C-alpha cells in the first residue's frame, strides 16, 4: 500500500469515528443540557472536517509534475495542515464564546450514569484514534495526520475532564461544567496556535535536523575520493520529496571525468540511503602532496577557529607561487554581527600572511 492510500484510508476511518461520536455526544449533550458535552460534539465534527481536508490535500499533492510546478505539488499537504490548524483555532474561539455565555447565564445540567458511561467510552475511542493517527502520520511523514492525531488526544483529555465534571455533579451537586468548557476552549485554542505555528515554520523553511545532516555528510564522506563534505542544503517539496546540494573536498589533481564519477556515486548513494535527491555537488580543491601547504592550512585554521563565533573553516586552497589563498568560514547566527566577525577573521589572517591575496567566503550555519 502506497503512502497516499494509507493516509486516505486512515482519514476515512477518522471521519466515520468522529461523525458517530459527534452524533452520540450531540444527543447526550442536548438530553442532559450539558454545554461541555455539546461543545465536545462540535469538536468531533471539526475533527471529521480535518480528515476531509487531509484527504483533499493528499490527493492534490499526488498531482504529477508540470511545467509550472516542476517539483510537484507535495507542499499542498502543508497547506492542508494549515487549514486544519485554523479550523481547530476557530472551534476553540467559538467554544470559548459559548462557555462565557453559559457562565454569565448558567443553566443546570442533568447528568445520568448512562450518559457518563457513553462519554467514558468516547474517551477511550478518541485516545486510541489519536494514537493511531499519530502512528500512521509519523510513519508516512504526514503532518496533517499528526496534527489530527494530536487534536484527537486533546479531545480525549477534554472528554475526560467533562466526565470528571459529570461525576462531580452527580456525587456533590456542584456544577463546574461552564467553567470547564472555558478551560477546554483555551486548551483547543492553544493547540490550534501551536499547530499553525509549526506548519508556517515548515512552509518558511526550517533548519535540517542535526542527526540527518550529520548522517548525510558522513555518507558522502565515505565515497572514494571525497576528503570532506560541507555546506549541505536541503529543500523540502513535500513530506516525501527532498532535493539538495553539497560541497565536497577532493584532490586537486583529479580530472573532470574522475570528479564526475565521484559526484554520480554521491547522488546514487544518498538517494538510496536517505531518499534525498542531490542535484548539485560543489567542488573544493585540496592541496595534495605539499607539506608546506598543509602546514599553512593548519595554521590558518587555528587562527580562524580561535574567534568566538566561528564554527568551522573549510574549502581551503592555496597557490603559493601566486601568493593566493582562499577558504570559507562559517559564523554562528548567535554572533552580534556576522559581518564583523568575518572582517576580523580576514584581518587576522592577513596580518599573519601579509603578502597573500585572500578570498574568503562567509558561509551561513545552515546545517550541522
- SS3 for 206-249 is CCCCHHHHHHHHHHHHCCCCCCEEEEEEEEECCCCCEEEEEEEE
Overall average pLDDT of the 330-357 stretch: 95
Overall average pLDDT of the 63-90 stretch: 84
Pairing of strands 242-251, 276-286: parallel
- Give domain limits for the chain: 3-204, 210-364
Asked if the model's pLDDT at residue 252 lies above 90, the reply is yes
Asked if the model's pLDDT at residue 196 lies above 70, the reply is yes
**Residue 1: predicted pLDDT:** 64
pLDDT band, residue 2 (cuts 50/70/90): confident
Report yes or no: 181 and 98 within 8 Å, Cβ to Cβ.
Answer: yes
Place of cell 548567535: 334
**Residue 43: predicted pLDDT:** 73
**Residue 110: predicted pLDDT:** 63
DSSP state of 331: E
Overall average pLDDT of the 220-249 stretch: 91
pLDDT band, residue 309 (cuts 50/70/90): very high
Q: Which CATH superfamily is domain 210-364 in?
A: Cation efflux protein, cytoplasmic domain (3.30.70.1350)
Q: Which residues does residue 106 pair with via DSSP β-bridges, in sequence order?
A: none
Contacts 24+ apart (CB under 8 A), 166-175: 166/34, 166/109, 166/111, 166/115, 166/116, 166/119, 167/116, 169/109, 169/111, 170/111, 170/113, 170/116, 175/106, 175/108, 175/109
Pick the CATH number of 3-204 from 1.20.1510.10, 3.40.50.2020, 3.40.720.10, 1.10.10.10: 1.20.1510.10
> What backbone torsions phi and psi does residue 5 show, to the nearest 5 degrees?
-60, -45
Asked if the model's pLDDT at residue 292 lies above 90, the reply is yes
pLDDT band, residue 317 (cuts 50/70/90): very high
Sheet hosting strand 357-364, strand order edge to edge: 310-319, 324-331, 357-364
Digit-coded pLDDT (tens) for 40-75: 777 778 778 878 888 888 888 888 888 888 888 888
Of 180-189, 238-247, 318-327, the range with the highest mean pLDDT is: 318-327
Q: For the CA atoms of the chain, what is the radius of gyration? A: 29
Overall average pLDDT of the 146-160 stretch: 76
C-alpha cell at position 214: 550529520
Lowest mean pLDDT across 76-90, 143-157, 235-249, 306-320: 143-157
Asked if the model's pLDDT at residue 328 lies above 90, the reply is yes
3-204 and 210-364 share one fold: no
Question: Of how many residues is the chain composed?
Answer: 368
C-alpha cell at position 69: 510546478
CA angle 339/345/348 to nearest 5° reads 140
Query: Which distant-in-sequence residues (6+ apart) come within 8 Å of 50 by Cβ?
Result: 14, 84, 87, 88, 144, 147, 148, 151
Query: Which distant-in-sequence residues (6+ apart) come within 8 Å of 251 by Cβ?
Result: 225, 227, 285, 286, 288
C-alpha cell at position 182: 472555558
- Report in angstroms the alpha-carbon separations of 191 from 99, 184, 185: 18, 11, 10
Asked if the model's pLDDT at residue 129 lies above 70, the reply is yes
pLDDT band, residue 176 (cuts 50/70/90): confident
CA nearest neighbour of 280 among 235, 219, 312, 328: 235
d(CA 154, CA 315): 50
CA nearest neighbour of 219 among 208, 229, 231: 229
Sheet hosting strand 242-251, strand order edge to edge: 228-236, 242-251, 276-286
pLDDT band, residue 329 (cuts 50/70/90): very high
The pTM for the full model equals 0.72
Provide the percentage of residues in the chain whose pLDDT is more than 90. Answer: 38
Amino acid at each position: 500500500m502506497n503512502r497516499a492510500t494509507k493516509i486516505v484510508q486512515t482519514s476515512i476511518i477518522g471521519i466515520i469515528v468522529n461523525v458517530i461520536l459527534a452524533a452520540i455526544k450531540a444527543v447526550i449533550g442536548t438530553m442532559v443540557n450539558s454545554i461541555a458535552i455539546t461543545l465536545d460534539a462540535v469538536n468531533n465534527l471539526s475533527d471529521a472536517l480535518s480528515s476531509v481536508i487531509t484527504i483533499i490535500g493528499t490527493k492534490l499533492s499526488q498531482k504529477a509534475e508540470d511545467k509550472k510546478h516542476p517539483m510537484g505539488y507535495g507542499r499542498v499537504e502543508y497547506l492542508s495542515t494549515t487549514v486544519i490548524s485554523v479550523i481547530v483555532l476557530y472551534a476553540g474561539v467559538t467554544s470559548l464564546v459559548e462557555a462565557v455565555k453559559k457562565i454569565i447565564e448558567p443553566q443546570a445540567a442533568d447528568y445520568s450514569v448512562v450518559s457518563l458511561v457513553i462519554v467514558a467510552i468516547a474517551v477511550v475511542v478518541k485516545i486510541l484514534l489519536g494514537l493511531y493517527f499519530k502512528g500512521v502520520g509519523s510513519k508516512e511523514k504526514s503532518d496533517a495526520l499528526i496534527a489530527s492525531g494530536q487534536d484527537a488526544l486533546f479531545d480525549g483529555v477534554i472528554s475526560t475532564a467533562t466526565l470528571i465534571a459529570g461525576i462531580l455533579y452527580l456525587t456533590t451537586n456542584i456544577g463546574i461544567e461552564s467553567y470547564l468548557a472555558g478551560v477546554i476552549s483555551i486548551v483547543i485554542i492553544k493547540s490550534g496556535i501551536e499547530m499553525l505555528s509549526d506548519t508556517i515554520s515548515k512552509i518558511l523553511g526550517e533548519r535540517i535536523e542535526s542527526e540527518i545532516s550529520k548522517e548525510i555528510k558522513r555518507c558522502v564522506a565515505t565515497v572514494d575520493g571525497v576528503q570532506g563534505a560541507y555546506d549541505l542544503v536541503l529543500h523540502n517539496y513535500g513530506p516525501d520529496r527532498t532535493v539538495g546540494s553539497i560541497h565536497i573536498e577532493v584532490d586537486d589533481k583529479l580530472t573532470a571525468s574522475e570528479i564526475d564519477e565521484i559526484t554520480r556515486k554521491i547522488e546514487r548513494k544518498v538517494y538510496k540511503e536517505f531518499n534525498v535527491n542531490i542535484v548539485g555537488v560543489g567542488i573544493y580543491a585540496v592541496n595534495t602532496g605539499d607539506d608546506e601547504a598543509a602546514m599553512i592550512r593548519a595554521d590558518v585554521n587555528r587562527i580562524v577557529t580561535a574567534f568566538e563565533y566561528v564554527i568551522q573553516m573549510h574549502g581551503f586552497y592555496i597557490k603559493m607561487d601566486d601568493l593566493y589563498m582562499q577558504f570559507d568560514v562559517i559564523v554562528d547566527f548567535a554572533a552580534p554581527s556576522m559581518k564583523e566577525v568575518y572582517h576580523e577573521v580576514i584581518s587576522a589572517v592577513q596580518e599573519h600572511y601579509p603578502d597573500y591575496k585572500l578570498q574568503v567566503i562567509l558561509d551561513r550555519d545552515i546545517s550541522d
